[in-house]
Each structure stands twice: as structure tokens, then as C-alpha cells.
A and B are shown apart, each in its own frame.
Chain A
Amino acid sequence: MSEPIINDTGAVTPRDAFLRGVRELMPAWPGIFAWGLVTGIAMVKSGLSVTEATVLSLLAYAGSAQLAALPLMAAFAPIWLVTLTAVTVNLRFVVYSVLTRRHFAHLSGQRRLWLGYLVGDIMFARFTAMIEREPDYPHRVHYYFGGAIANWVLWQISSIIGIFAATTIPTSWGLELAGTLTLVALLVPLCANRPVLAGVMVASVVSVLAHDVPMRLGLLLAIAFGVGTAFAVERAGRAP
């Protein structure tokens, strides 16, 4: 992870902030790339045509929602079920936006639509960590968009490579693990205190227990139990 660049002499320009966003996303590129590749491959292997898979990747730009929907589509599950599953996989972004919206509330409606379209787990984690370290950093919106756009470009390139290479890359390589390991690297620095650790442990256990709950609702259950636990531990720690 690159260290924050502190520039005492010259003011930070929007361009600096944008480029810093790009730069701080870059350590995650192998994971993003591998994950995009795997998603592209998985779409075609599940029966989507090259055109359908490319359009889905460009429009939805939602790795985990796309992956969760594929087995349902392959089984011709009802459209409402496919849609609801995508909603539950994406609901964590509603929580993310509760935490970040004050930084973006002054933007125009159109900008906020782009913001929603471009959001992702990795840039969200980067952004919140940066704001925590440097609460007064100017041009944070540019910082955010820099990283988010870099993520988008990497993802789409790798996804489209995956779509076209689907027949030549064997799934047995286990490339999707690189995406999971990227999340591991994002999670480790967040586990800096006891409430987070407790929440993460409970969320992990619940996510495993609720693994077979339909529509990926287990994810939401795990987040709810994890947050509740972390908050309770925080409260207990503050009590006299």
C-alpha cells in the first residue's frame, strides 16, 4: 500500500487528487484483473453469448451480482428472482452510501448517478481509509473518481478478455481466488480494534452457517449480526 502523499508546500489540485486515487487503487490490480477475467469466463460458460456477456458487464458492472445471477439464469429462474437476488447482493452498497453520502451530497444529480454506477468494494474501502487518515483532504471527490474509473477500466478490459478467452482458459486454474485474496488484503487493516474483530468473526460464522439461504440473503444476515456484535462490544468497552 502506498503511503499518503502529504504536500505541505503546494496546494493539492483536483488533478493531483484524481491521480492519487488512480495510484492508490493500483496495488489491487492483480486481484481486480483476475476477478474480471473469471467473471467474463463464468458468464460465457453459463451459456451467455459474447454479446450478451459484454452488454451485461458494461451495463451492470457488478461482479458479485453477475456471478450470483448466473446459476439462476442457467436454470431459467423467474426474472423477479434473478432481479431480487441482484438486489440482495448489492444491498451492502446502500450501507456504504449511508457512510459516504455526505462527501458527495453537493454533487449534481447526474454526477451522483455516475458515482452509484462506479462504486465498488475496493475503492470504497480505500476511500473510507483515506478519509479516516486525512479528514481534511481536499478534492476527495476527484480522489474517489480517479480510483473508481481506474477500477472500471481494469475490470472491463479483464472481463472482456475473459469473455473472448472463455473457451481457452481452464476453470481449474482457480484464478477467482485472486479476487478473494484482494478482499483479504482489504479486510486485514480494518481489523484494528476489538469491536471490528468481534464483528468480523461473527459475520464470518453467520456467512458460513447461512451459506445455503436463497437469494444470497445470508450475506445480509451476516452483516446484520456482525454489525450488531461490533456495536455491542464497542458499547461494553465504553461502559464504566
Chain B
Amino acid sequence: MTEPYVWWAILGITLATFLSRCSLHLLGNRLQVPHTLESALRYAPACALAAILVPDLVFNEGQLDLSFDNPRWVAGIVSAAIFAANRSMIASISGGMAVFWLLRVW
């Protein structure tokens, strides 16, 4: 990559990130959000997490794959089950990774 291009891109990403994350905090309470919208948005964090992580798990080499042949999908299910059972984040991450590595060696 040529130098000036990369630095402009870095500047763009930084500004985009910073402005979208700070904008509402800088407005403080000056911006009024309708109560109904605010109460609906309570569901946004869970939906956002799902929308970020599910595509990471269900695509196997570019194809939708919900079978046992997709190690990431199986690891995700196992990881969720471990967390639901004992509420330990370290156990669920390491259990999921162990399953993932085992399935790939298989």
C-alpha cells in the first residue's frame, strides 16, 4: 500500500470511530429520544451481539453450513451450552476452542 493513502485511511477510520462513539455523549441530555424508541432500543445490544457473532460461526469456507462439518458452528453451540450451564466465561471460551481444534484435527 502506498503511504499517503494508508494514512488518510487511518485518519478516516479514526474519525469515523471517534465521532460515532462520542456524538451522543457530547450532546448529553440535550437530545431527546422518544420514550418508546428508547425502551425498544433496550433490545439492541443483544441483537447487535447476535448479528456480529452469528455470521462468524455459520459460514464455513464462504458457504452457510449448520452441520457437524462446520467446526466453528459446533464450537459456538458447545461454548454457549457451557456458559449456560456454569456461567464461567473462561470455561466457555476454552471449551469452545478445544472443541474447534479437536474437530479440525479429526
Q: Please determine whether A181 and B76 come into contact, CB atoms closer than 8 angstroms.
A: yes
B62-82 interface code vs A (CB 8 A; 1 in, 0 out): 001000000010011001100
Q: How far is the CB of B1 from chain A (nearest CB, A)?
A: 5
Q: How far in angstroms is the closest Cβ of chain A from B12?
A: 4
Any B CB within 8 A of the CB of A167: no
Which of chain A's residues has its CB closest to B76's CB? Answer: A184
Check if B47 sits within 8 Å of A86, measured CB to CB: no
Does A19 lie at the interface of the complex (its beta carbon under 8 Å from any beta carbon of B)?
Answer: no
Q: A60-B17, A204-B54, A227-B40 are in contact. Are A128 and B45 (CB under 8 A)?
A: yes
Contact of A231 among B26, B43, B93, B100 (CB under 8 A): B43
Interface flag for A37 (CB, 8 Å): no
A-B contact count, CB below 8 Å?
Answer: 258
Please classify the interface of chain B as helix (H, G, I), strand (E, B), loop, or mixed, using the class held by over half of its residues: helix
CB contact between B96 and one of A66, A101, A177 (< 8 Å): that residue: A177
B88/A1 in contact, CB under 8 A: yes
Closest CB in chain A relative to B105 CB, distance in Å: 12
Instruction: Please give the residue numbers on chain A whose beta carbons come within 8 Å of chain B beta carbons, in ascending order.
Output: 1, 27-28, 30-31, 47-49, 52, 55-56, 59-62, 64-66, 69, 73-74, 76, 79-80, 82-84, 86-87, 90-99, 101-102, 104-105, 109, 112-113, 115-117, 119, 121, 124-125, 128, 174, 176-178, 180-191, 195-196, 199-204, 206-208, 211, 218-219, 222-223, 226-228, 230-231
